[in-house]
A = this chain, B = another copy of it.
Amino acid sequence: MFNFTFNLVSMNIPLSSYPRIVIIGGGFGGISLAKKLSKKEVQVVLLDKNNYHTFQPLLYQVSTGGLEPDSIAYPLRKVLIGYDNFYFRLAEVNEVYPDKKKISTNIGELTYDYLVVATGSETNFFGNTEIEKNAMSMKSIPQSLNLRSLILENFEQALLTDDYHERDALMNFVIVGGGPTGVELAGALAEIKKGVLPKDYPDLDTRRAQINILQGGDRLLDGFSDQASKKAEDFLEKLGVQVWKGVRVTGYDGKTVTTKTDLVFESATVVWAAGVKGAGIKGLDAEEVLAGGNRINVNEFNQVVGYPEIFAIGDIAYMVTEDNPRGHPMVAQPAIQQGKLLGENLANLIQYKPMKPFKYFDKGSMATVGRNKAVCDINGYRFQGIFAWFVWMFVHLFFLIGFRNRMVVFINWVYNYIKFDREARLIIRPFKRDYSQFKD
């Protein structure tokens, strides 16, 4: 059963007498696994298309000028510092060849003894290419910086027009999706509207700026308690955000958001936070493997159905259990916990010991809406408001990787809180957008 493949010397990774575990993706799952494997008798190769780990829960703060990108990113090479027989390669994986226990990448081919797919998720536009082309998403640091630039450019542009239709559209934000990302972004924009815009644009009537959050279902924060959902909505309305429930978006041509009803929005800034899907990988047999939302079917050991040497963890993994009949939530905690357990399990597997099944420990959910306003559902405790907000901050600082990052984020938060400000508002990835379409 354990015939280790003869590893060709490729990508300049040396042969090792230990089995080679290739991890695709340096997100929460990938680095938890890598750390767990640090003391085991294995060779680990971590691949990622970026040279940094992204702390996705704070991307919305990069988009809204509250944080600089470097403070929520962490060099992946640094994660592996001091571990023997660990290799990082900056690479994009093209395809898996399970028969040959091999993957192909943009920098060459690599064989594996065990492969772990930890590719995470990407924005799901549900096949709507028009929306995909015109709306912004916020799943990576470059995307978040793009959104930041667009928001700021739109206000600069709003200053220049005498056409009030155009001006309103440039100051009209439409956030599609009422999950934590949408809610947190809406809240942050509302605070910018209140604290930053009137000072930055005294010659613009920023009261006309609107923030709309559109939710297809009948409540915000699906998966949270009713109490949290209700309170988040209250908080948003208190901040001046327009909450639209039961509104399904059908299109966005760069100018007008259309919905299933006759409701339309003219907007230059549409953020699509209405869904994610697994960031799939070519070469695994689609019918057996792919579950709903492009996730990969795995058993209770995170083993991909039909491929005993291939595992999947985190957002991409679809594991059906009694407690989670539709798979685990696509958030950090399942990824971290699966990564840690898989580290143990791979070591067991190699030593012919039995693997332990995964059991998700739900640490709860939380979302922040704004200053002193957050909602937490933790271990059956439901609380909202300022205490929840402190818990939210503490937890996020705790899970952020790197002492320097924690310090810098903390300083920024204190500064933003005291000054009602967001200072990281560089337009650093300028768009050359045609604004004429908003003219009458």
Contacts and interface: CB of A to CB of B under 8 A. Distances in A.
Interface of A: 11-14, 50-52, 68-71, 73-75, 77-78, 81-82, 87, 89-90, 107-108, 141-142, 145, 152-153, 156, 159-162, 199-201, 203, 402-405, 407-408, 411-412, 415, 419, 421, 423-428
A403 B51 CA distance: 31
A427 B52 contact: yes
A171 to B, nearest CB: 14
Contacts of A87: 203
Given A12-B203, A90-B427, A411 B415 contact: no
A415 to B, nearest CB: 5
A152 B73 CA distance: 15
Report how many copies the assembly holds: 2
B51 A427 contact: yes
A132 B71 CA distance: 33
A425 B75 contact: yes
Contacts of A107: 160
Q: Please report whether the interface of chain A is mostly helix, strand, loop or mixed according to DSSP.
A: mixed
B423 A415 contact: no
B200 A141 contact: no
Contacts of A156: 51, 89-90
A153 B49 CA distance: 12
Contacts of A200: 75, 77-78, 81
Nearest to A50: B427
Contacts of A427: 50-52, 90
Which 8 A-B pairs have CB atoms at the shortest separation, nearest pair first? A68-B70, A70-B424, A77-B200, A68-B68, A90-B156, A404-B415, A52-B426, A51-B427
Given A12-B159, A160-B107, A162-B12, A412 B408 contact: yes
Nearest to A424: B70
